Chains A and B, each alone.
Chain A
Amino acid sequence: MTLATKKAPSAMVKRSRLPLSRVRVADFSWLAAGPFATRFLATMGAEVVRVESQKRLDQLRQIGPYPDGVPGVNRSPHYNLINYSKMSMTLDLSTPRGAEVARRLVMVSDVVVENFAAGVLERLGLGWDSVRRDRPDLVYVSSSGLGRSGPARHYVAYGMTLHAFGGLTHATGYAGQPPRPVSGTWADPVTAITMTCAILAALHCRRRTGQGQYIDLAMSDAMLAITPEQVLECGLTGRVPERTGNFEETAVPHNTYRCQGDDAWVAIAVRDEAEWRVFCRVASHREWAADPRFADAYARHRNEAELDRAITAWTREHTAREITERLQKAGVAAFPCLTAMGIIEDPQLRARDFFVTVNHPEVGERPVFGHPWRMSGMPKPVYTPAPLLGQHSDYVLRDVLGLPAEEAKRLVDEKVVY
């Protein structure tokens, strides 16, 4: 599968002028939240080493669909997306030598990220309290579902359970109907970008003071922080808010409307009276602006169902693209509800090089989603394919840790590097 995207350089480009050049990250996390965060760091020049093991394979490496239906630990689309620009070494941490090598890696790193169950790394001598004595300047992140304190700290979680715990599931759905959970991955990337803020702030603080620190990051806290509305409403009014569909208190009309085409929809958001008059003109229904049912935002909110029916009669006659172009030209917010194919083909994303093609040794040239922001002063971000399992074990042992060749070989033979 190829796509007309900019090709990324296949060899390591110069990292020296990137924002995080000379920052090394030992990444003991797996699945999505931790690895997503370290990918943002890797793309900006950090040297990120994923510490993995065949004995405890990242679940993401085991999720297809695999190209040509051929499974393989290096062939997962999700792993290969979330881990590009990084290195991978394998290490069996349950062996004493494995834990020792891991400790040596930590000692030459600037950032540690982990999401083991509480206590696991402590037992291996890799907990914050034991490594901080030798490396007080480390930034050490423990990522977990509900955090490392509180009575439910041992709870295990996937993203969907955190949408539920953090209040998002309760808040999402049609008015008067049961919750309709947000599909797919959300809590993990929300946690990842939140973690990225915390790491970057701690590294900035370290540049100023020389001091590192421990970051206790709960996915539930990350979700709560971006979902404050219902908690605020309950606290301030005593009401327990329910679901309200696409309702927005300061904008009306504000909904998704059926358009011409197969299950095609357009989102429209009209924010004030000036925009409402423009909207009526564009829709060729100037009489709406004078209709007492729709005359002002108060009336439109009270008659929102009628209003939406009237608007749908107009939108059904046009494609979502036509509606968008006409409204946007007049300064009213609107956009097609994009399907997955709509995302892949979107002219704006294309123009901004949102997709980048990387050449992976096992799956060949495939597009990935690129770095989520643009920086005018940053050299081209680093895009190298996701590492094969253990691809960089030798490099890390020899070049990063400085072990002699025979010792590195013995670690492989004894299945410590495994």
Chain B
Amino acid sequence: MPDALSDLRVVELAQFIAGPYASKVLADLGADVIKVEPPRTGDVARRHGPFPGDVPHPERSGLFFYLNTNKRGLTLDAATPTGAGLLDQLLRTADVLISDHTPAEARRLGLTFTRLRRLNPRLIVTSVTCFGWTGPYRNYRGSELVAWQASGKGYYTPEGVTDPERENPLKAGGHQADFMGGVNAAAATLSAVHQRWLTGKGQHVDQSIREAVTTTFFAFPMNYFYGAPLPSRLTESAGAVGAAMGLIECSNGLLQLSMLADHQWYGFVKAMGEPEWTKDERFGKGASRARNWDALRAYVQQWTSTRTKEEVARLAQDQRVPAMPVNSAADILASDHLRQRGSLVDFAFPEAGTVRLPGPAYKLSATPVSWRRQPPRLGEHTAEILGELGCSRDDVVQLYRGGIV
């Protein structure tokens, strides 16, 4: 079997996380992704750590490495007329363009869908931007923090605030919004590929990163649409839905315990060896357990404080209780489960030996994700790709001298 998407050529004109992650999803599934970077500086992700041994180097960014596996790389200054001409030639051969430009930026670069459609009627143009291509904020600048806070998720991160003046709204760890925007853009692009099977035509796909995140922020607005009041960020939402859930201290760190149904509580009582205190009537009913969570947690911690988070999770899970350790990066790298399942892959990292990265997010039986190539060094495939477009070696040298590639 060929790789699932081996018939697709994708041109990526995007930096940092959202756009590059969208095309990484497609590249890992077999698409031929050509990453177009600005000459000299390259993608800004190259300046973002972590770096092996904390020694910064544009070819050794861990984040860049993760985001650009399986791609080929070309440098091109699309703002020069010759560079724009070469980009057009490349787009004539492509199925998909993934770009992170706002409408105003795209107009300056001549990357409007109206023009690109004439260039290549089968081309799918996916824009992945913070606010989307229409509406009053279409040209607003975005970022991870801005997208998360514009989505509704951010204002309630963290929830259960006790001192609102000191506890300012947070972003989630890492770059959850940018990555979420990227996966959504990949799914949206593949949707357009499906429609092209029916119509033979490309189209413009408009993915807003903030809307990708807002889609997950449905609980409070939906409850409101059904007549319930909106909570403040001082509320713990778990208590509000009548669930006993939260973080529990164990001997070596924290555990997340989530008990929504009665049978889960009975299971947990059994896991603890049915201690006397569990007969307390405050813990008798689901809603009552949620209301008395602080008291419940104090009792539970008497039992968990002498056991590791992994052991508590195992004992609870033996009774089918949703409990899992709060894993640090070191825990994740040491996890037997993730290793045996192949959820982490080992990659040879330039000058840092082998590095373990999160592997593919799914296991496909017939077309497993293939690791065909390391991420491109800056401009690594420029001559190769220009050659495919019909440029001679002389042309390539001239373009290089002109600062265009």
Contact = CB atoms under 8 A, between A and B. Distances in A.
A and B bind: yes
B191 to A, nearest CB: 5
B187 interface: yes
Main secondary structure of the interface of A (DSSP, over half): mixed
Interface stretch (B161-169, B268-276, B290-298, B391-399): B161-169
Contact of A240 (B25, B137, B215, B329): B329
Contacts of A224: 332, 338, 343-344, 358, 361
B155 A376 contact: no
B362 A217 contact: yes
A65 B211 contact: no
B358 A374 contact: no
Interface in B282-320: 313, 317, 320
B199 A250 contact: no
A94 interface: no
A319 interface: no
B192 A377 contact: yes
Interface stretch (B78-86, B141-149, B374-382): B141-149
7 contacts: A167-B328, A184-B153, A213-B366, A225-B361, A227-B179, A237-B52, A374-B134
Nearest to B139: A328
Contacts of B174: 168, 171, 226-230
Nearest to B214: A343
B218 A185 contact: yes
Contacts of A375: 188, 191-192, 195, 203-206
Interface string A154-185: 11111011111111111111100011111111
Interface in A206-238: 207-209, 211-218, 220-222, 224-237
Contact of A200 (B152, B155, B194, B255): B194
Contact of A343 (B53, B217, B237, B337): B217
Q: Top 8 closest A-B pairs, CB basis?
A: A171-B173, A377-B203, A180-B158, A150-B341, A164-B256, A226-B179, A234-B329, A351-B135
Nearest to B362: A198
Interface string B52-72: 111000000011011000000
Contacts, number: 526
A78 B136 contact: no
B356 A334 contact: no
B193 interface: yes
Given A201-B364, A202-B364, A228-B357, 11 more contacts: A67-B226, A81-B218, A158-B245, A167-B173, A196-B187, A258-B165, A267-B149, A351-B134, A372-B211, A373-B187, A375-B205
Nearest to B361: A225
Contacts of A157: 322, 324
A338 B150 contact: yes
B168 A256 contact: yes
B281 interface: no
B209 to A, nearest CB: 10
